[in-house]
Structure 1
Amino acid sequence: MPVATDRPDTRRAREPGTPPRPLVVLASIALAAGTGGAIWLLPPRAQGEWAVVGRRAGAGAPPSGTAPRPAAEPAPTPAVVRPSGFVAFVDAVHEPRFNLSKAARKSRVRWFTLGHLTAGRSGCVPRWGGLQGQRRNPVANRLGPLRAAGGDAGLAFGGPAGRELATACADLGRLTAAYRRAIDAFDARYIDFEVHAPAGDAAVRRRARAIATLQRQAAHEGRPLTVSFTLPVTGTGLTLGDQELLRATRAEGVEIATVNLLAPVGTSPGSGSRLHPIASAVRAAHPQIARSLGESAAWNRIALTPVLARSGDLTRLDARRLAAFTSRNNLAWLSARGAALAPGITRFLTGAAR
């Protein structure tokens, strides 16, 4: 009669030629102890090399007495650098004491635009306000602390006064070199072209070809160069000339990231009616910008810059409505020009327009 047991037959069964289980366990323990002892007995130098080889699997050991070199990593693709949130404009010519890093800490603004660089007497030399040398502007020379704190600033060419470089400099090579000189001087990754007066077709093409060359060179060097155009807007949108400017610039191969619309704030008080013309102007300009840039929709390629006649033209309620309009329509960013914003408005817009 078979003897009863609490273990099934499958637990007792063993394949032919397989050593008993207790023997296998003892052999494993002995092997681990022997390996650990051998490693412990190695000199410190040998242990270090063992660790390096272990970390660099598949790589040969470094020559004796030479520190191991880390494996080469592929160069990262440069991120697209462009303004976002609320962008503060600084008139670097008329506000020489403006402290970028201090303003960033106080208002929490991350992005600034510095203007304006226009043609000097020679026609092909960019100067602040057409008069001041590039390196002699105290505001632009304070970019270092701003960037160290995580902020940045772009350069604005053109503007309401002086001659834009493309109009004053008739030689394409010299024009390209002039733009590059300013970009390199301040290590700019974002540049804006503020166009007010209509320019001839030759100047438009010359500017576009210069910008396209700069963007190709920047891409070849692995650094971004974001380009925007700042244009005035009315209730009917952009002028036909500005629409053609955008189309011609794009046709020359320029990647236009943003079209920044300068829109004057109305004078009618109360009920947000002062902002109604701005909203109408942006809606009128949207299909024009989309067609000019070859897009079916271009809301995220539009930035909005209300122009204030007086500091009180933008109340806290107005600022709240502007921020809501920007967010609701997915606009690229928000800014302001003209009179200085009332205390606290800039900080509110910075937080609301993120």
Structure 2
Amino acid sequence: MSVATDRSSARHAREPGTPPRALIVLASGALATVTGAALWLLPTETGEWGRPARAKAVAPLPAARTASGRTDAPAVPSPAAGPSGFVTFVDAVHDPFFHLPRAARQSGGRWFTLGHLTAGQDGCTPRWGGHQDQGVNPVANRLGRLRTAGGDAGLAFGGSAGRELASACPLPDRLAAAYRQVVGVFDVAHIDFEVRDSADHEAVRRRAAAISALQRETAGRGRPLAVSFTLPLTGRGLSPQDQLMLRTTREAGARITAVNLMVPLRPAAPGRNRLRPVAAAVRAAQPQIARALGERSAWRRIALTPVLAGPSDLSPADARKLAGFAARHDLAWISTRGAVPAPEVARLLAAPPL
């Protein structure tokens, strides 16, 4: 018998107990058909917000400070890292009775941002809302008690309550002195700039130079200063002017800890997830921020702040999805603006994901 005949016989031979080849092919086709139908019937609305969050390490709480607000030990293991988890924004101008220590106990959150400091009448003096002296704001004066309880807070410049100092103060030395005074008076390790003047290139350059100088000074004293920018998020990410502002600030030597993306929550069509457009917008902004900051990826430098028209805009289910999204992408922090979220929602946003 030839070798070719032996191979042909071997191909057609089968072991005892093995089903015929035709039957195997038929069964495989049936299995593929059933599997395809099952996948077609699976729900498709889960998407970005439906996946379970991976556990995220919880940063240690800041060390307690004295009643004066000064630290006996570093406030956080790496102060330059800035806030983390859920950050409660407090309008210190229009909500003077806000009690920082009590809010920390009730919500479980430990980080706050107090705003807004804007230019006074002379253009170069920072005041709360542009008119209230720094030292007489009752919310800011509770900072020492918050720190004693293990919390901490940063300060926000700019916003809608007046002009940001860099736009109003044309003198670079006085601008740097104004920022330096605020950081020193309140002993803060984090400041935020809610910028609305990105098209003003002179203001952008003045601010960038002042931040760079201030960060060098604070680092030299062993207390690095974290700096973030709060910017509006659109469906296409950040505006070109905001991207250029971030790059100009970084090229001036300032280190930008985080970019806080502020986005309004809009009503969704029935059966649709209102957070889905938010996820798409953040994904669009991520490479833009990475390029502006000169990094390959910027997920860890992104903070996310939905703007609420009313407390019901963010349900407990939405809060879980939002916290899960932040954990999956390792966002710097999450916050809210506008209406105050319901207490249960605030607790869910402040709790680490399981």
Cross-structure match for 1:321? 321
Cα offset, 1:274, TM superposition: 1.2
Work out whether residues 118 and 165 of structure 2, in 8 Å CA contact, stay in contact via their aligned partners in 1: yes
One-letter identity of the residue aligned with 2:89: F
Cα offset, 1:329, TM superposition: 1.1
Cα offset, 1:343, TM superposition: 2.4
Cross-structure match for 1:214? 214
One-letter identity of the residue aligned with 2:279: A
Q: Which whole-Å deviations, capped at 9, do the CAs of 1:96-154 have from their partners, x for residues lacking one?
A: 00000010011111000000000000000000000100001000000011001110000
Relative to structure 1, the CA distance from residue 308 to residue 126 in structure 2 (aligned partners, 3 Å threshold; closer, same or farther) is same
One-letter identity of the residue aligned with 1:236: R
One-letter identity of the residue aligned with 2:266: G
Cross-structure match for 1:250? 250
User: Which consecutive residues of structure 2, in runs of 5 or more, have no partner in the other structure?
Assistant: 1-72
Matches within 5 A, 1:152-191: 152-191=152-191
Work out whether residues 110 and 150 of structure 1, in 8 Å CA contact, stay in contact via their aligned partners in 2: yes
**TM-score after normalising by structure 1:** 0.77
Relative to structure 1, the CA distance from residue 102 to residue 215 in structure 2 (aligned partners, 3 Å threshold; closer, same or farther) is same
Cα offset, 1:271, TM superposition: 4.6
**TM-score after normalising by structure 2:** 0.77
Cα offset, 1:310, TM superposition: 1.1
Distance, in Å, in 2 between the alignment partners of 1:269 and 1:156 is 35
Work out whether residues 333 and 353 of structure 1, in 8 Å CA contact, stay in contact via their aligned partners in 2: no
Work out whether residues 107 and 343 of structure 2, in 8 Å CA contact, stay in contact via their aligned partners in 1: no
Relative to structure 1, the CA distance from residue 343 to residue 269 in structure 2 (aligned partners, 3 Å threshold; closer, same or farther) is farther
Matches within 5 A, 1:211-290: 211-268=211-268, 271=271, 273-290=273-290
One-letter identity of the residue aligned with 2:194: E
One-letter identity of the residue aligned with 2:342: A
Work out whether residues 237 and 284 of structure 2, in 8 Å CA contact, stay in contact via their aligned partners in 1: yes
Q: Which whole-Å deviations, capped at 9, do the CAs of 1:240-286 have from their partners, x for residues lacking one?
A: 00000000000000010100000111112665621112111100000
Cross-structure match for 2:78? 80
Q: Which whole-Å deviations, capped at 9, do the CAs of 1:215-260 have from their partners, x for residues lacking one?
A: 0000111112000011001110000000000000000000101000
Q: Which whole-Å deviations, capped at 9, do the CAs of 1:177-231 have from their partners, x for residues lacking one?
A: 0011111110011000011243411110000000000000001111120000110
**Matched position secondary structure for 2:274:** helix
Distance, in Å, in 2 between the alignment partners of 1:271 and 1:351 is 27
Matches within 5 A, 1:136-151: 136-151=136-151
Distance, in Å, in 1 between the alignment partners of 2:192 and 2:300 is 17
Relative to structure 1, the CA distance from residue 133 to residue 273 in structure 2 (aligned partners, 3 Å threshold; closer, same or farther) is same
Cα offset, 1:353, TM superposition: 5.7
Cα offset, 1:344, TM superposition: 1.2
Aligned length in residues: 280
Relative to structure 1, the CA distance from residue 315 to residue 269 in structure 2 (aligned partners, 3 Å threshold; closer, same or farther) is farther
One-letter identity of the residue aligned with 1:133: D
Work out whether residues 326 and 353 of structure 1, in 8 Å CA contact, stay in contact via their aligned partners in 2: no
Cα offset, 1:79, TM superposition: 4.0
Cross-structure match for 1:125? 125
- Does residue 201 of structure 1 match 2:211? no
Work out whether residues 334 and 353 of structure 1, in 8 Å CA contact, stay in contact via their aligned partners in 2: no
Cross-structure match for 1:113? 113
Work out whether residues 154 and 192 of structure 2, in 8 Å CA contact, stay in contact via their aligned partners in 1: yes
Relative to structure 1, the CA distance from residue 296 to residue 193 in structure 2 (aligned partners, 3 Å threshold; closer, same or farther) is same
Relative to structure 1, the CA distance from residue 112 to residue 271 in structure 2 (aligned partners, 3 Å threshold; closer, same or farther) is farther
Relative to structure 1, the CA distance from residue 353 to residue 238 in structure 2 (aligned partners, 3 Å threshold; closer, same or farther) is farther
Cross-structure match for 2:348? 348
Work out whether residues 205 and 248 of structure 1, in 8 Å CA contact, stay in contact via their aligned partners in 2: yes
Relative to structure 1, the CA distance from residue 258 to residue 127 in structure 2 (aligned partners, 3 Å threshold; closer, same or farther) is same
Distance, in Å, in 2 between the alignment partners of 1:122 and 1:270 is 52
Work out whether residues 196 and 232 of structure 1, in 8 Å CA contact, stay in contact via their aligned partners in 2: no
User: For the aligned residues, what is the CA RMSD?
Assistant: 1.7
Distance, in Å, in 1 between the alignment partners of 2:268 and 2:286 is 25
- Does residue 336 of structure 1 match 2:354? no
Distance, in Å, in 2 between the alignment partners of 1:229 and 1:242 is 10
Runs of 4+ in 1 over 3 A off after TM superposition: 269-272
Distance, in Å, in 1 between the alignment partners of 2:350 and 2:77 is 22
Relative to structure 1, the CA distance from residue 303 to residue 290 in structure 2 (aligned partners, 3 Å threshold; closer, same or farther) is same
One-letter identity of the residue aligned with 2:136: R
Matches within 5 A, 1:20-59: none
Q: Which has the higher contact order (CA 8 A, sep 6+)?
A: 2
Cα offset, 1:330, TM superposition: 1.1
